[in-house]
Structure 1
C-alpha cells in the first residue's frame, strides 16, 4: 500500500481469475477505501438511470444462427483509421488513482496489451504525457471537460497533441455534476491531486468535492465549441454524452468525427433513458456518416454484441476496468478485457457471426420485460 494524504492506494500487480465482471465490484469494494469506492460505484440521485443501464440490455434478444458454418470468431476491427484487436475500449474515467497507485498509467498498459483503445480523462490522476507513455505507442484519445477558461483548454489540448493522442473526446453532458448522494454520505473529497489541474488556476483537485471540480467547467456548450476545438487541434473530435438523434446531427453538422452515446454511466441526469435504449435511434440518425461509440452499463460479452448490432462501432467500459485495476493493476485491466473478449467470442460463435462486421448485420428481437 501507498499512503497519499491519508488515503491508501494499493499496488497490486497480477492477472485475475474472473468469473464475471459483476463479481469484480464486490471484490474491489474490499480494497478500495470507502470514499473512493463510493465515488467510483455510485450514480446520481436514487440511481434509477444507473440501474436502467443494466436492465435495458434485456430489451433485445440475440437470434441464434446454428447453421452458419463458422468457427474461430475474430474480434479485430478498424475504427477512426485505427487497427484494433477488439471493439471494446476504455471509456474516459476520472481519478483512477483512487483504485491503484499507478492509476491511468497501469490502465493504459493493460488496455494496450489487450489491443484496445484507451481514452484518458481531463481529471486523470496521472498526466497526459505519463498516461500516453504507459500505452507504449498504442492508440489513445484524450477526453476534454471544457473549462470556462479557454487558456486552460488550450493548454490541455496542446499537451494532448504533443503526447500523440489520435482524437479529442469532448464531453458535453457534464456542465454540472450530477447529485451523487454517496459522496455526500462519505463526505468525499478527492485526496489525490489530479495531474492535469496541478499547474493551472483550478488548483490540483485535492481536497475538493465533485461539485467544486465541476464549478470551473463550461456550462454553455454548443456546436460552435465543437468547431473551435476542431480548428484549434486539427484532430478528429468526438462528441460524448449524446442521447438524442437531434444532438447527434448537431454534432455532425459542427464537424464532429464521431458520436459517443453515453449517459455518463448513470452519474449525471437521473431519470434519463438508458443509453442502450437510445442507441438504435441515434445510430439511425447518424446513418454511417461517422463512427458511433457507446458506453454505460456494459458487463457482458452479449452486451457488447447487442450494442454493435444496434449501431455501435466501439463499446466502452469504465467501472469494470477500474475494478480490475484495483485488484491487479495493468494485468488486472488486461484480464478484464480478455474476459469480456472471450465472452464476446462465445456469443459471436453461437450467433453465427465471424467478424465484427457480421455482428452489425445480426438479428435482434425487440422485447420488453
Structure 2
C-alpha cells in the first residue's frame, strides 16, 4: 500500500482471474478506504436510478440463433476511424487515485494494452499530458467539465489538443452534483490533488468536497458552447449526458460529432430513467448521423450486446474498471475490459452474430414501453 496525505492507496499490479464484473465490487471494498469507496460506488438520493441502470437490461431479451455459420466472432470495430479491439471503452471517471496509487496512469496503460480508448476526466489525479504520455500513443479522449472561466477551459483544451487526444467529451448533465449521501455520511474530502486543477490553483484541489469542485464549474451550458468547443479545438465533440431524443437533436444541430447516452451512472438525477431504457428512442432520432456511445449500468457481455443492438456504436464502463484498478493496477483494469469482451464473444456466437455490425442488426424482444412513449415526442 501507498500512503498519500493520510489516504491508503492500493499499489497492486497483477492480472485478475475474473468470475464476473459484479463480483469485483465487494473485493475492491476490502482495499479502497471507506470514503473513497463511497465516492466511487454511490448514486444520488436513495439510488433508485443507479439500481435501475443494470436492471433495465432485462427489459429486452436476445433471440438465440442456431444453424448459423458463426465461429470465432470478431469484436474489432471502429469509432471516429480509430481501430479498436472491442466495442468497449473506458468512461471518464474522476479521481482514480482513490482506487490505486497510479490512478489514471495505470488505467491509460491498461486500456492501451487492451487495444481500446481511455477517456480522461477533467478531475483526474494526473494531468492531461501525463495520462496521454502513459498511453504511449494509444487513442484517448478528454472529458471536459466546463469551467465558468473560459480561459481555464482554453488551458485544458490546449493541453488536450497538444497531447494528441482524439475527441472532446463534453459533459452537460453535471452543472452541479446530485445529492450523494455517502459523501455526507463519510464527510468525504478529496485527499489527493487533482492534476488539472492543481496546475491552476497551486494544490487548492486537495481537501475539497465534490460540492466545492462543482461550484467552480459552469452552471449553465448552452448549445453555443458545444459549437465553441468544437471550433476552438478542431476536434470531434461528443455531448455526454443525453437522456432524451430532443436533446440529442439539439446537440447534433449545435455541431456534436457524437452523442453519449448516459445518466452519469445514477449519480445525478435520481428518479430519472435507466440509461438503457432511453437508448432506443435516442438512437432512432439520431438515425446513424453521428456515432452513439452508451454507458451506465453495464456489467455483462449480454448488456454490451443489447446496447449495441439498441443503437449504440460503442459501450463505455466506469466503476468496474476502478475495481479492477484497485485489485490489480494497470493489469487489473485491462483484465476487466478483456473479461467483458470475452463474455460478449460468447453471447455473439449464441446469438448468431459474427461481427459488431451483425450485433447492430440483431433482433431483440422488447418489453419496455418507455421507448415508444419517447419516440412519439
TM range (shorter): over 0.9
Report the Cα offset of residue 368 of structure 1. 5.2
Q: Which residue of 2 aligns with 1:121?
A: 121
Q: Which residue of 2 aligns with 1:211?
A: 211
Q: Does 1:198 align with 2:206?
A: no
For residues 275-294 of structure 1, the aligned pairs below 5 Å read: 275-294=275-294
| Separation in structure 2 between the aligned mates of residue 19 and residue 235 of structure 1, nearest angstrom | 39
Q: Which residue of 1 aligns with 2:324?
A: 324
Q: Which residue of 2 aligns with 1:25?
A: 25
| Separation in structure 1 between the aligned mates of residue 307 and residue 43 of structure 2, nearest angstrom | 22
Report the Cα offset of residue 130 of structure 1. 1.0
Give the root-mean-square deviation of aligned CA atoms: 1.0
Q: Which residue of 2 aligns with 1:253?
A: 253
| Separation in structure 1 between the aligned mates of residue 201 and residue 69 of structure 2, nearest angstrom | 60
| Separation in structure 1 between the aligned mates of residue 141 and residue 8 of structure 2, nearest angstrom | 29
Report the Cα offset of residue 363 of structure 1. 0.7
Cα deviation per residue 1:179-215 (whole Å; 9 max; x = unaligned)?
0000000000000000000121495421111000000
SS across alignment from 1:276:
helix
For residues 149-160 of structure 1, the aligned pairs below 5 Å read: 149-160=149-160
Report the Cα offset of residue 10 of structure 1. 1.2
- Structure 2's unaligned 5+ residue stretches are 370-377
How many residue pairs were aligned? Answer: 369
| Separation in structure 1 between the aligned mates of residue 202 and residue 216 of structure 2, nearest angstrom | 7
Query: In the alignment, is the contact (CA less than 8 A) between 2:197 and 2:203 conserved in 1?
Result: yes
Q: Does 1:63 align with 2:57?
A: no
Q: Which residue of 2 aligns with 1:135?
A: 135
| Separation in structure 2 between the aligned mates of residue 211 and residue 219 of structure 1, nearest angstrom | 12
Query: In the alignment, is the contact (CA less than 8 A) between 1:58 and 1:368 conserved in 2?
Result: no
Query: In the alignment, is the contact (CA less than 8 A) between 2:260 and 2:293 conserved in 1?
Result: yes
Query: In the alignment, is the contact (CA less than 8 A) between 1:195 and 1:204 conserved in 2?
Result: no
Cα deviation per residue 1:77-99 (whole Å; 9 max; x = unaligned)?
01111010010000000000000
Report the Cα offset of residue 303 of structure 1. 0.2
Query: In the alignment, is the contact (CA less than 8 A) between 1:223 and 1:250 conserved in 2?
Result: yes
More displaced stretch, 17-26 vs 199-208: 199-208
| Separation in structure 2 between the aligned mates of residue 202 and residue 75 of structure 1, nearest angstrom | 44
For residues 60-139 of structure 1, the aligned pairs below 5 Å read: 60-139=60-139
| Separation in structure 1 between the aligned mates of residue 133 and residue 148 of structure 2, nearest angstrom | 29
| Separation in structure 2 between the aligned mates of residue 116 and residue 67 of structure 1, nearest angstrom | 32
Q: Which residue of 1 aligns with 2:2?
A: 2
Query: In the alignment, is the contact (CA less than 8 A) between 1:44 and 1:179 conserved in 2?
Result: yes
For residues 338-349 of structure 1, the aligned pairs below 5 Å read: 338-349=338-349
Cα deviation per residue 1:336-357 (whole Å; 9 max; x = unaligned)?
0111010000000000000000
Cα deviation per residue 1:138-181 (whole Å; 9 max; x = unaligned)?
10000000000101100000000011000000000000001000
Question: What is the TM-score with the length of structure 1 in the denominator?
Answer: 0.99
SS across alignment from 2:61:
strand
Report the Cα offset of residue 367 of structure 1. 2.3
SS across alignment from 1:248:
helix
Q: Runs of at least 4 residues of structure 1 off by over 2 A?
A: 201-204
| Separation in structure 1 between the aligned mates of residue 336 and residue 166 of structure 2, nearest angstrom | 24
| Separation in structure 2 between the aligned mates of residue 47 and residue 250 of structure 1, nearest angstrom | 29
| Separation in structure 1 between the aligned mates of residue 172 and residue 68 of structure 2, nearest angstrom | 42
Q: Which residue of 1 aligns with 2:51?
A: 51
| Separation in structure 2 between the aligned mates of residue 222 and residue 279 of structure 1, nearest angstrom | 22
SS across alignment from 1:22:
coil
Q: Which residue of 2 aligns with 1:351?
A: 351
Cα deviation per residue 1:251-276 (whole Å; 9 max; x = unaligned)?
10011100000000000000000000
